[in-house]
Amino acid sequence: MSGKAVKIAYKPVGLLLGAGAGLISSLIFKQVWKIAGHDDDAPNATDEDRSWTEILLAAAIQGAIFAAVKAAVDRTGATAVRKTTGRWPG
């Protein structure tokens, strides 16, 4: 399989992996927030009763978790494609 074909074939796989990463990171964030924030729900940016600090902290934690999970899932997917096709999808 050519490098271009691998890239094209990987597109739908990458989309599915991205959706899965979003779900996984959301579940992880909810658990982390329960521990760190001592609350079941993270604040929304429009929560009037929450402070700027709490809202920005929640957003930073959520972003970091999402980035780490997405990188791990993407790397795992790319490694699996290489094992299957012999070519790196990037």
pLDDT for res 56: 94
Q: pTM score, two decimals?
A: 0.82
Q: For 14-61, what is each residue's pLDDT tens digit? A: 889 889 999 999 999 999 999 886 678 888 899 999 999 999 999 999
pLDDT for res 10: 81
Q: Please choose, from the candidates 22, 18, 70, the residue with its C-alpha nearest in 3D space to the C-alpha of residue 10.
A: 18
Pick left, alpha or beta for residue 47 (phi over 0 → left; psi -120 to 50 → alpha; otherwise beta): beta
| Residues listed for the chain | 90
pLDDT for res 1: 65
Return the ∠ at Cα 33 (arms to 21 and 58), rounded to 5°: 80
